[in-house]
């Protein structure tokens, strides 16, 4: 919306250095107003979640919406499955991305974390989004023949023993947690496994900088 989607696609890292992406409730804006479409938990999307809602089967359409009260902040809003953006009054084009759900903050059991298999993301889709970190960590795990999986590891998972991930616990990257920022995963032509995790920290209502983790 208002050029933010296009600016993000042009250079996500640069954009995240300029705009703080608020994604703690991707179905609503910071001022509490509902999205133009139903939220991610709406009935028309429920069938697209599997494995106890830990995985979203399909790419979704997203919009980066400016907040008048906070000029350096944009809301990440989920509009729905592909085609949802065109059903609204919005101009321009959506950002199409995979989605990692956030599931549980009270366990370090990796079998209960939200995740996405990288090979389930269509080749035309360049990004994977997730809920704001708030101390959580994005973890990239090599699961052998199953390929690379990305997990949204809850805050409490790191308080005591680190989680043990499936298929040999081949953790490739633990993107250090941001206390109030966001994480975006994007395709990379230079990283060994073809992906890069961008972690944005927050400095009040502005971006506190971006750290890149090649995968």
Strand duo 70-81 + 20-22: pairing: parallel
Residue ranges of domains in the chain: 4-214
User: Whole-angstrom Cα distance, residue 61 to residue 94?
Assistant: 6
User: Whole-angstrom Cα distance, residue 111 to residue 103?
Assistant: 11
Cα distances (angstroms) measured from residue 96 to each of 60, 83, 170, 196: 6, 10, 29, 17
Q: What's the pTM? A: 0.88
Residue 13 has what DSSP assignment?
A: H
Kindly give the confidence (pLDDT) of every residue in the chain, 215 residues in length, as a single tens digit, with 9 standing for 90 and above: 579 999 999 999 999 999 999 887 655 544 444 443 334 434 456 566 777 778 888 898 898 988 888 999 998 988 778 877 777 777 788 999 999 988 866 778 888 899 999 999 999 999 999 988 888 899 999 999 999 999 999 886 666 678 888 876 689 999 987 677 899 999 999 999 999 999 998 888 889 899 999 99
């Amino acid at each position: 919306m208002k050029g933010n989607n296009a600016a993000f696609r042009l250079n996500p890292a640069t954009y995240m250095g300029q705009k703080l992406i608020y994604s703690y409730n991707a179905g609503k804006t910071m001022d509490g107003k509902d999205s133009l479409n139903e939220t991610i938990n709406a009935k028309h999307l429920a069938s697209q979640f599997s494995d106890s809602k830990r995985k979203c089967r399909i790419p979704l359409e997203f919009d980066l919406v400016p907040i008048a009260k906070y000029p350096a902040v944009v809301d990440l809003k989920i509009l729905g499955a592909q085609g949802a953006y065109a059903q609204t009054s919005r101009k321009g084009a959506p950002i199409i991305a995979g989605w990692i759900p956030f599931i549980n903050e009270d366990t370090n059991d990796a079998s209960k974390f939200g995740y996405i298999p990288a090979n389930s993301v269509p080749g035309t889709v360049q990004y994977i989004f997730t809920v704001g970190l708030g101390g959580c960590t994005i973890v990239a795990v090599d699961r052998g023949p199953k390929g690379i999986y990305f997990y949204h590891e809850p805050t409490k998972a790191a308080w005591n023993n680190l989680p043990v991930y499936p298929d040999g616990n081949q953790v490739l990257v633990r993107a250090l947690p941001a206390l109030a920022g966001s994480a975006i995963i994007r395709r990379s032509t230079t990283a060994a496994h073809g992906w890069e995790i961008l972690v944005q920290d927050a400095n009040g209502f502005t971006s506190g900088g971006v750290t890149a983790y090649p995968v």
